């Protein structure tokens, strides 16, 4: 196995949501899916996590079909199970029910053991004025860095 680093980030997630809590979860993938992840063919467009029968699933995470998969291909946008401890699942399920939070995927990577991991965040949607403040802060930081160079 090559030591190539795979790190795919969901940039719009931190812009659209105010993230309060983060977790790293394993994800159940088939053979052709993990090969596509290693190739970096993952898209987070409109993906989110939800609870179903006590399990955490991710919906609309697009993992492109592996070219050489043949008959053993996969559905690119199928629901995939996330692997977390029961205690963490119960804690987040209670927060999700009481406060109006959403669970969004933040990034996906391959760890040193070769397993695919997904960083997920518990966050609330930002209002329009909060997004404007984020843009202003980013612009000011960029100008400061230019001035210091």
Model confidence over 45-59: pLDDT tens digits? Answer: 989 999 999 899 999
The pLDDT of 103-124, averaged and rounded, is: 92
**Domains in the chain: boundaries:** 7-148
What pLDDT score does 1 carry?
Answer: 45
pLDDT in tens, 61-101: 999 988 887 777 788 888 999 999 999 999 999 888 877 78
Helix/strand/coil for 123: strand
* Rounded Cα distance, 127 and 121, in Å: 18
What's the pTM? Answer: 0.82
What pLDDT score does 107 carry?
Answer: 94
What pLDDT score does 74 carry?
Answer: 82
Range 7-148 has CATH code 2.40.280.10: yes
């Amino acid at each position: 196995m090559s030591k190539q680093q795979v790190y795919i980030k969901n940039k719009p997630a931190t812009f659209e949501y105010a993230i309060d809590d983060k977790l790293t979860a394993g994800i159940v993938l088939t053979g052709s899916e993990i090969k596509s992840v290693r190739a970096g063919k993952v898209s987070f467009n409109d993906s989110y996590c939800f609870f179903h029968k006590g399990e955490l699933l991710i919906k609309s995470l697009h993992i492109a079909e592996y070219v050489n998969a043949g008959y053993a291909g996969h559905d690119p946008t199928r629901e995939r199970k996330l692997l977390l401890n029961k205690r963490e699942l119960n804690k987040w399920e209670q927060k999700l029910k009481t406060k109006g939070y959403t669970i969004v995927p933040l990034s996906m990577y391959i760890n040193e053991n070769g397993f695919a991991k997904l960083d997920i965040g518990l966050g609330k949607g930002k209002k329009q004025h909060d997004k404007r403040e984020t843009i202003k802060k980013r612009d000011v930081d960029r100008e400061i860095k230019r001035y210091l160079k």
